[in-house]
Amino acid sequence: MTLPEGTRGNPSVGARLALAGGLAVVVAAAVFAVGRVHTPDYTMGLFGRSGVAAIRLKAQLATVILVLAAAQLGLALWMYRRLPGAGAAPRPVPVLHRLGGATLFLLSLPVAAQCVLAYGVDLSGPRVAAHSLAGCFFYGAFAAKVLIVRSRRLPRWGLPVAGGLLVTLIVVLWYSAALWYFAGFQLP
């Protein structure tokens, strides 16, 4: 087996990458297991709203999360000088990136909790299966990204891969639920 560039000859780098990947799998599997074992309570509300009103609120929160994810991507590209024509990022940009990430994560928690408790992990159809699995993978990828961002000894490509995966999963989650709601309970 050939290791990715930047990991050859340094077993600790490979071990750290394996640890991040293992953490992602463990967290995703734990969320999946809870969602599959839990008996769904379809009457459960969100912040005092139930039924379609709860779905509307989740769609609105998911849209805010999607916008924050796009901002996170832009800030990350700016910080790593990959944003064309933007030059070097000023000092507040990394702080804004961290605050935006924390806000995004905190906003996702009530939405995810309501999804898991009200519906569980549902694999009965393509849309709900994609949404359920993307939600499980999101929290696994988030845990891995936190571990990766704290390690200065990993290859430079690790952090953008983890961040890109998070943005992709947020898009899948938004498309499979919020857009589905906004489009009249059907996917365009």
Q: What is the pLDDT of residue 152?
A: 77
DSSP 125: S
Q: What is the pLDDT of residue 54?
A: 95
Q: What is the pLDDT of residue 2?
A: 56
Q: What region does 185 belong to: left with phi over 0, alpha with psi -120 to 50, or beta?
A: left
Asked whether 158 and 137 are in contact (CB, 8 A), the reply is no
Beta-carbon neighbour count of residue 168 at 10 Å? 15
Domain assignment of residue 127, yes or no: yes
Angle between helices 11-37 and 158-173 (to 10 degrees): 20
Average pLDDT over the chain, rounded to whole?
A: 91
Domain assignment of residue 40, yes or no: yes
If residue 159 lies in a helix (H) or strand (E), which one and from where to where?
A: helix 158-173
Q: How far is CA 175 from CA 29, 171, 183, in A?
A: 23, 6, 10
Asked whether 106 and 142 are in contact (CB, 8 A), the reply is no
Q: What is the pLDDT of residue 59?
A: 97
Name the CA dihedral angle for 169, 172, 175, 180, rounded to a multiple of 10 degrees: -110
Contacts of residue 62, defined as CB under 8 A and 6 or more positions apart, other chains included, come to 111, 173, 174, 177, 178
Domain that includes residue 41, residue range: 15-182
Domain assignment of residue 8, yes or no: no
Q: What is the pLDDT of residue 12?
A: 82
Q: What is the pLDDT of residue 16?
A: 84
| Dist. CA 88–CA 57, nearest whole Å | 38
Domain assignment of residue 20, yes or no: yes
Q: What is the pLDDT of residue 111?
A: 96
Contacts of residue 7, defined as CB under 8 A and 6 or more positions apart, other chains included, come to 13, 14, 17, 155
Paired strand residues for 46: 49
Which residues, given as ranges, of the chain have pLDDT below 70? 1-11
Contacts of residue 133, defined as CB under 8 A and 6 or more positions apart, other chains included, come to 32, 121, 123
Asked whether 4 and 155 are in contact (CB, 8 A), the reply is yes
Q: What is the pLDDT of residue 9?
A: 53
Number of structural domains found in the chain:
1
